[in-house]
Amino acid sequence: MSDPAQDVHVQRTIASPFTEQGTGLHSGLPAHAEVRPAGPDTGVIFRRLDLKGEPTIPADVELVSGVEWETVLGPADASVRTVEHLLAALATHRIDNVEVRLQGSEPPSLDGSSALWCAAIEAAGIVEQEAPARTIEVREAFSLEDGASRYAVAPYDGYRVSAGIEFDHPVIQRQYASAEIRAGEFCREVAPARTFGLQSWAKALHARGLAMGADFENTIALTDEGIADGIELRFPDEFVRHKIIDVVGDLALAGARIRAHIIAERPSHRGNVQLARRLRRLQFRPADGSPVLEAERIFDFLPHRYPFLLVDRILEFEPGRRILGLKNVTINEPFFSGHFPGHPIMPGVMIIEGMAQTGGLMLMNEVSESSKKLVYFMSLDNVKFRQPVRPGDTLLFDMEMLQFRGRVCRLRGVGTVDGQVVAEATLMAQVVDR
């Protein structure tokens, strides 16, 4: 059965404010959250009412500052902790815009699940807004690994998350679950799943300022042999269902609705956040999947020509922030004839040059009269070569703008092949007149 919200293409917010209060799961301090409607294109915004100036922290994956046992947003002196359970409920209901006004550093833990957040959203009601919803639609399958966490992402007509976990504990062991991320099914089958942990972990976690508010009301407490007395599971596989909550909440930080099937093996907050970053970048590809720039258009912005043009196309472009270039490495590259003959390896300096050219394209977009300008690179720092690049590889140059003042810019570049980092560097460049 389809979910009507799944087919809504306009933004949505709640119809009326609601309030929840309790204790922070990790801080252990009193927590109060008022969730208010917000206008179109606001996004999800957290406001710290308890701090001077009432700073705001957008629910943006680029602002993630902690992923150890929770997801934390913002700087240390104005952060918001444990946002994932509330964000999962908002994402499931296709709520695009709200302001979450907090007294304290985290929303209340409630019962350690997303169920009460779902109930509060449904009681508040939902209204549509006159602005198109942002959607990330996966058109080509891809995978991602982060430590022990592995993810496969596939095209899907909707939003589904499947997860598998494995713990060396008699109650958990190997568990797998899969759910459509739509309000009805999620709120009934996934949202009630609570966070969990071994009682033997408590001392070490408390020493790091974690799980200070965990108790039998918001956590499935496990002994070494089973479940602590007085706690009953809501589902036999409640543990993996809670992991689905975490995945949905963390991926909401991508800042758009998701149309894909996410298959997560041993998901973690760190892995979820890396996947959210990857998904977020898909917003900056043309809707038809074509490149942003082909080689012919690159000629208009860069003075390089064969054999020194080392960017074949631009796949993604976020003005003033990030650009992704592609180089198809073939055996016909002229440098292979003299660089390790019989064992062709792309010279590291050529990889860095490809990064520089990709970054240069981003800089040219930031200046007026770009046809009268050139980009000169001034310095390289923290250069590391991780793996060789060989004929047949597709080399991606992922460039992030760190700072741009006057005509001088700092960029961070990462080169990857099949998702594996092959090189990285920090570059400084200057825009000059021709």
Catalytic residue numbers read 269, 339
Give the residue carrying structure tokens 């090189």.
423
Could you check whether the bond before residue 55 is cis, i.e. omega within 30 degrees of 0? no
Strand partners, 287: none
The rounded distance, in Å, linking the Cα atoms of 264 and 261 is 10
Residue 369 CB coordination number (10 Å) = 8
